[in-house]
Amino acid sequence: MNAAARPYSLLKRLTVALSVVALLAFALVGALLYNALALELQQRDDIEIAEKLDQFLQQARDFGSTQSLIQHSAEFHEVLKSHPAVSLAILDTRGDVLVQHSKKPSHELRSAGPGFHDPNAAYSCDPPTIGPSRCIYADAALPSGEGIRIVLAHVATERHSLLRSYQQDVWLAIAVGATLMGTLGYAITKRGLAPVKTIGRQTSKIEAHSLNERLDIAAGPIELQEIAVSVNRMLDRLERAFMRLSQFSSDLAHDMRTPLANVISSSQITLSRTRTKEEYEILIDSNIEECERLQRMIENMLFLARADNSKQHIKLSEVDCQLELTKLTSYFQGIAEDTGVHFVINGSGRIVADPLMFRRAVSNLLSNALDHAAVGSDIELRTYHSEGYVVVEVTNKGQPIPAEHLGKIFDRFYRLSASRHGSAKNTGLGLAIVKSIMESHRGKVEVVSQRHSTTFALSFPRLAGLWDSSTATPGVAHSPRKNDNDSSFTAKASSDELEQVLPR
């Protein structure tokens, strides 16, 4: 089992990171400078012994013979007095030493060292009595016909001592530089993270009663503005949700209070004196009607609550729109006969949707259309294909919806007229349910209200191969029966089952 993640300090992490980066950077620079100095000192030693080699070769040729070299050996010693780190050996062809010079008598140079080395080219060597050095040699033939070999060695002791001292300075500079960079990094990071603390302080001040406040870092760093914008958008959503919830609670209390008040007041009046059997029956019928209204309201609220919490499971299947619309309109006969309204169904198509939810959405729109349709007019139900959607439209003739209400009619408990709040027929949840159903199908609902008509459009996403492109069928008139615009469909597609879901 993994251990729980522990909180960490971003300031400390950035400070350590800067210190490590500074340490690596200084170490790399120090190493480069050290290698450059070591190479430069080595090249200086090589140049020194190469120049002396050329000089001694020329002198040896001038002397002409090995015997003359031995007699004039003091001249070689004189030249090397100003070069104490250089040792000299001049050998004959048998390897015998003709001229020997070194800083100390015990430091004798007797050969060019083991292995093969190119003449006139400096190389690293380690003579037994001298130690690590840079050596060079050359062979020459004297005018006397004798051959000689001149060997020079430059002791590396001083060079190595200088490099060790420089190395210590480099390590000290690395330590001081890393410490300084860590300190400066801490100060810079602390100052740079100050806006983050500012955001934290501003956010901690926002409470349920101050959701209108927003984070203000307009003058802050660009990198944090995206976070602030995201938090402000979240606060916008929370504020809207909180306002809707507050309004919803108020509306719900108001709408539930009305039928309860009706039940209580009518019961109290009836019980204030002795009544006849018929009067008690009337009271009971009235109370049942109010209780049914409360039941429908509670069912609708449970439906919306499940949809809000993504607990409303939908069972998708192929739905024949024309067949479903025909069945639905056959149940709205009573109201339509009273007002002379007829239904006209145009177009056909197939969608993938939950049949029960589809019927509930269309039923709410039909009930709403009947409430606002002009006497003797037609309500048109049309199905067509548009830009990847199968659209089901419900259009009624009558007074248009005022423009200021179009953006609110899908809100819960919203009604165009306050005088209808007490109506047992309308709870203000029908269109909210329609919107919730369309959102659960990843579709959309739209409304267009013109001068003499209002159209609600349900757009279901179209899946390939399911759209029926057959031509529109002629309009069919139907006489609907009574329905409620918040009716709850809980049955299947047969006529007998549809009978059960309509309110009585």
Give yes or no for residue 394 having a pLDDT over 90.
yes
Contact indicator for 268, 239 with CB cutoff of 8 Å: no
Summarize the confidence of residues 61-83 as an average pLDDT: 89
**Measuring CA to CA, which residue among 104, 99, 79, 75 is closest to residue 89?**
99
Residue 469: pLDDT band with limits 50, 70, 90:
very low
Lowest mean pLDDT of 132-136, 186-190, 337-341, 424-428, name the range.
Answer: 424-428
- Judge if 10-162 and 222-308 fold alike in CATH terms: no
Residue 311's Cβ-side half-sphere holds a number of Cα atoms within 13 Å equal to: 7
Residue 467: pLDDT band with limits 50, 70, 90:
very low
Cα separation, 317 vs 351, whole angstroms: 8
Cα separation, 215 vs 204, whole angstroms: 11
Q: What is the pLDDT of residues 209-240, one digit of tens each?
A: 777 777 777 766 777 777 788 888 888 888 87
- 491 vs 157, residue with greater confidence: 157
**Superfamily in which the 10-162 domain is placed by CATH:** PAS domain (3.30.450.20)
Cα separation, 40 vs 343, whole angstroms: 102
Cα separation, 303 vs 488, whole angstroms: 9
Q: What is the pLDDT of residue 3?
A: 54
**Measuring CA to CA, which residue among 89, 97, 96 is closest to residue 138?**
89
Give yes or no for residue 363 having a pLDDT over 80.
yes
Give yes or no for residue 201 having a pLDDT over 80.
no
| Domain boundary assignment for the chain | 10-162, 222-308, 317-501
Give yes or no for residue 421 having a pLDDT over 60.
no
- 87 vs 10, residue with greater confidence: 87
Please name the residues in contact with 37: beta carbons below 8 A apart, sequence gap of 6 or more. 163, 166
**What angle do the packed helices 355-372 and 430-440 form, to 10 degrees?**
150
Q: Is the pTM of this model over 0.85?
A: no
Please name the residues in contact with 332: beta carbons below 8 A apart, sequence gap of 6 or more. 343, 366, 367, 370, 478, 480, 481, 482, 483
CATH number of the domain at 222-308, out of 1.10.600, 3.10.450, 1.10.1200, 1.10.287? 1.10.287
Q: What is the pLDDT of residue 475?
A: 35
Residue 5's Cβ-side half-sphere holds a number of Cα atoms within 13 Å equal to: 3
Summarize the confidence of residues 481-490 as an average pLDDT: 38
Cα separation, 309 vs 326, whole angstroms: 33
Average pLDDT, the chain: 80
Residue 426: pLDDT band with limits 50, 70, 90:
low
Q: What is the pLDDT of residues 304-327, one digit of tens each?
A: 666 666 555 678 889 999 899 988
Summarize the confidence of residues 32-59 as an average pLDDT: 92
Q: Which residues pair with 350 in a beta bridge?
A: 320
Q: What is the pLDDT of residue 417?
A: 59
Contact indicator for 101, 88 with CB cutoff of 8 Å: yes
CATH 3.30.565.10 describes domain 317-501: yes
What are the tokens at 179?
């410490």
Residue-level length of the chain: 504
